[in-house]
Structure 1
Amino acid sequence: MSKYFDALETRSADERTSALIDGLRAQIDRARAAKNACQLDGPEIKSLSDLAKYPVLRKSDLSRWQKKSPPFGGFAVKKPAHIFQSPGPIYEPGGISHDWWRMGRFLHACGIGEGDIVQNCFGYHLTPAGMIFENGAQAVGASVLPAGVGQTELQVRAAADIGTTAYAGTPDYLKIILDRADADGVKLKITKAAVGGGALFPSLRQEYADRGVTCLQSYATADLGNIAYESEAMEGMIVDEGVIVEIVRPGTGDPVASGEVGEVVVTTLNPDYPLIRFATGDLSAVLTGTSPCGRTNMRIKGWMGRADQTAKIKGMFVRPEQVADFVAKHAEVSKARVIATREGEMDAMTVQVEADGGDAESYAKSVVETLKLKGKIELVAPGSLPNDGIVIDDKRVYD
């Protein structure tokens, strides 16, 4: 079994950038030709940095446009093999062509291939996770037991009877299967696990390792397919070769400096479903350098929280984009953070302003103009606010 899924994983930076620019130009053309509701205004793509001049596409936009033009809001350019439903509801297309979701690359990194039998414990009903991993298993030549979730006794029986060698599912459900097998005195052959859809805590990964199971995780969504994945190096998550990932300041489309935490925005190069600058709502950061495994694409640190930090304070919604507007109005302000607390039985709002100059009184007036609320101003030194992507910190506790 080759170490790499294909030659794309070890391209030089120049080769990858050139190919991504070509792919991006074609994808923008497809998105415009699809005649969806998105006003895809932006300049000619001469470099990848030009992508930041295009609008961000959010799930709320998709939901609204899908109601006007069902089922996909005009974004899908061909008839899909499957139609899936995610909470919202939002509908996503699915394909059955080779590695349509680009999950094969991740499964290959897990060591899964021909001769393996994958017990796929992701759901197959309405949501696409089960089909995403099944499509990836087919791309690497593995057989699939479409197990879904539940009926643990039957899961153990099937795994033992057919000789399952790999698991796909949420990080914690494998432990339930292994614990039940131990309790029943059944020895399983599972030595590989490809997980997603939840947090893989270090202690759980170590427990699997102690039981002879190598467990790696991926970062994927129903809309985009695979975005990033772990390799055997287990140092960050390597961005998939079929997407362009940006990290932007929450509430905006403005890229942050390398290493700074922000919202993950993804452009997929899947020609069947051209999503340009799709905001995931997740927080992450770029991890500098390349992976020790030899794959050369950009890495991110993995899931670091949610970017949608909207909070209702004193009866008014405060949104990340309002905080971004406040920062943009003041050249000397580098960051701001809204903190919601309770004083007695009343809401209170403090705005921490990281600035090189300025005064609290002028910032207080600006806060009222942009956030529509009065709040206490705390001036803090440049570089003192945490690099965690949080712009609205709701510290209120409701008993």
Structure 2
Amino acid sequence: MNSVYDPNELQSPAQRECDLLARLPTFLAYAKQECDHYRHILNDIDVTAISSRQSLTSVPVTRKSDLIGLQAKNMPFAGLNASSSTPSRIFQSPGPIFEPEHDSKDWWRMGAAFYGAGFRAGERVQNCLSYHLSPGGFIMDSGAKACGCSVIPAGPGQTELQLDIIEQLRPEGYSGTPSFLNILLQKGKEQGRDISSMTKALVSGEALTPSLQATFKATGISVSQAYATADIGLIAYETCPGSGLVVAEDILVEIVRPGSQELVADGEIGEVVVTSFNPDYPLIRFATGDLSSIMPGAGSCGRTNMRIRGWQGRADQTTKVKGMFIHPEQVERIRLSHGELAKVRLVVTNIDDNDQMTLHCEVSDAGRSDVDMARVAQTMKAITKLTGYVELVAPGSLSDDGIVIEDLR
């Protein structure tokens, strides 16, 4: 039998589907009782009759892109959390969007992704996602510990110190964004550091580009991807390179036509919508804003759950830069902070496998001398938590096409 984190990963697809759908009526009734948000949207729906994917489409989608406004009206979690459950931590992701965490083992369900990436009990993991306000560091941390690994809570940045730690503690693996792993490898090579102990990595938060995949393969590091969000935790994970991502256990994944409630045909690109059976934070038909598509059949790793092709774009203008979401509302807040800016557009590019963002600012000829580009850059960093560039452009050069964030990666 194949080695897996959870024996349920090997169950028949029909049994898994039957079990998940059978849980829907009771779970929806629980959410309706416990959560203000679901009490409202499920008010006129007979949840006892929802026991199939088709009947589930009668439940309105809750969109991640709406959370900023929903939470502003009902802080901190817009009533999506169970009233009888008290979170251990409250995070703030860019937006701002607030997310809860509870301390139960593997609350984010990330253990399967680490195990699928080859991590085993007794190994050390250098975790380089941020532990500051956003939950990324804690999400990875919990998954590594669920596999019996010891976690080095390094966070991002401080490259010299990170290399010192690798040489001293000899971690077998890395978790974090692929771009920062590349930075560590490049700097380590330049300085002649011995980082040969790291032979595996689980990356998330950014696209794993073909060029980075080739770089990591050349250095002898086996790299796997995890698709997770700050709201849901693990959605899908890679076990065999090039075979797509296996959907995690204990969630229902639908692929719907963006902006609608309708399911698309298998293989067609649509928005990833997830129902997570988390009693602390029930998320029912939660639209992530990410695009993907279902792959036919099971993969070669022995796990039987459905597979998706991974990230295939965004259903809205929200984008992710260096593992942090950037929302159109944030770009507008930057503009409003500087009255001399008539129109702005945030352009995201990738240069040498590093994400870069540049705020294009349309300013009248008369107002150019009033623009303090350094102050605009400071505002951008304060609002997005990321460093970017500012570029002044001529009046009328930004087209009236509704685009606030232009992702050119």
TM-score under structure 2 length normalisation = 0.74
Q: Determine if contact 2:173/2:201 at 8 Å carries over to the other structure.
A: yes
Distance in 2, Cα, partners of 1:347 & 1:198: 28
Equivalent in 263, 271, 274 of residue 255 of structure 1? 263
Which of these residues, 59, 64, 68, is aligned with residue 63 of structure 1? 68
Deviates more, 1:3-12 or 1:24-33: 24-33
- Aligned partners of 2:139 and 2:233 also within 8 Å: yes
1:210 equivalent among 207, 218, 230: 218
Give the letter aligned to residue 96 of structure 1. D
- Number of the residue aligned with 1:363: none
Query: Which range moved further: 301-310 or 224-233?
Result: 301-310
1:65 aligned partner, one-letter code: L
1-structure distance, mates of 2:12, 2:67: 35
Tell me what 1:368 maps to. Answer: none
Cα deviation 1:4-23 (Å, max 9, x = unaligned): 11111111122101211133
Change in 2 beyond 3 A, CA 1:177/1:348: closer
- 1:51 is matched with 56
Q: Does 1:154 align with 2:161?
A: yes
- CA RMSD after TM alignment: 2.6
Give 2:149's match in structure 1, choosing from 142, 147, 155.
Answer: 142
Q: Aligned in 2, Cα 1:309/1:132: closer, same or farther, shift over 3 Å?
A: closer
- Closer/same/farther in 2, CA of residues 154 and 57 from structure 1, 3 Å limit: same
Residues 345 and 175 of structure 1, relative CA distance in 2, 3 Å threshold: closer
> What's 1:293 paired with?
301
Q: Contact 1:233/1:291 (CA < 8 Å) preserved in 2?
A: no
| Partner in structure 1 of residue 15 of structure 2 | 15
Partner of 2:231: 223
SS in 2 for 1:172: helix
Task: Judge conservation of contact 2:116–2:239 (CA < 8 Å) in 1.
Answer: yes
1:238-277 alignment to 2 at 5 Å?
238-277=246-285
CA distance in 1: counterparts of 2:168 and 2:274, whole angstroms = 41
5+ residue gaps, structure 2: 319-327, 329-342, 344-395
User: Distance between the aligned counterparts of 1:147 and 1:281, measured in 2?
Assistant: 29
**Which secondary structure does the structure 1 equivalent of 2:56 belong to?**
helix
User: Shift in Å at residue 164 of structure 1?
Assistant: 0.9
Partner of 2:99: 92
Number of residue equivalences: 324
Q: Which deviates more from structure 2 when the two are superposed, residues 62-71 or residues 73-82?
A: 62-71
Which residue in 2 is equivalent to 1:322? none
Matches within 5 A, 1:1-399: 3-38=3-38, 39-40=41-42, 41-43=44-46, 44-77=49-82, 78-188=85-195, 189-308=197-316
CA shift, 1:348, in A, is 9.3
AA in 2 matched with 1:13 = P
Point out where structure 1 has 5 or more consecutive residues left out of the alignment.
316-343, 350-391
Name the amino acid aligned to 2:122.
G
Q: Is the 8 A contact 2:224 2:241 kept in 1?
A: no
Question: What amino acid is the match of 1:142?
Answer: C
Mapped partners of 2:218, 2:397: distance in 1: 50
Moved more, 74-83 or 150-159: 74-83
Give distance in 1, aligned partners of 2:205 and 2:241.
Answer: 21
Q: Aligned in 2, Cα 1:64/1:34: closer, same or farther, shift over 3 Å?
A: farther
Q: Give me the whole-angstrom Cα distance separating, in 1, the residues matched to 2:403 and 2:269.
A: 15
* Partners of 2:24 and 2:285 in 1: CA distance: 11
Aligned to 2:384: none
Helix, strand or coil at the partner of 1:53: coil
- Residues 102 and 242, structure 1, Cα contact 8 Å, conserved in 2: no
Q: Using the alignment, how far apart are the partners of 2:399 and 2:218 within structure 1?
A: 48
1:278–1:235: structure 2 CA closer, same or farther, 3 Å change rule? same
Is the 1:17–1:48 contact (alpha carbons within 8 Å) kept by the matching residues of 2?
A: no
Distance 1:298 1:2, change over 3 A: closer
Instruction: State how far apart, in whole Å, the 1-side matches of 2:35 and 2:151 are.
Output: 38
Moved more, 16-25 or 238-247: 16-25
Report the Cα distance in structure 1 between the residues aligned to 2:211 and 2:35, rounded to whole angstroms.
48
CA contact (8 A) 2:240 2:300 kept: no
The separation in 2 between residues aligned to 1:29 and 1:113, in whole angstroms, is 38
Residue 144 of structure 1: how far off its partner (Å): 0.4
Q: CA deviation at 1:165?
A: 0.8
Residue deviations 1:198-239 (CA, integer Å, cap 9, x gap): 010122112111111000001111011000110035401111
Q: Is the 8 A contact 2:292 2:312 kept in 1?
A: yes
Distance 1:345 1:130, change over 3 A: closer
Q: TM-score, normalised by structure 1?
A: 0.76
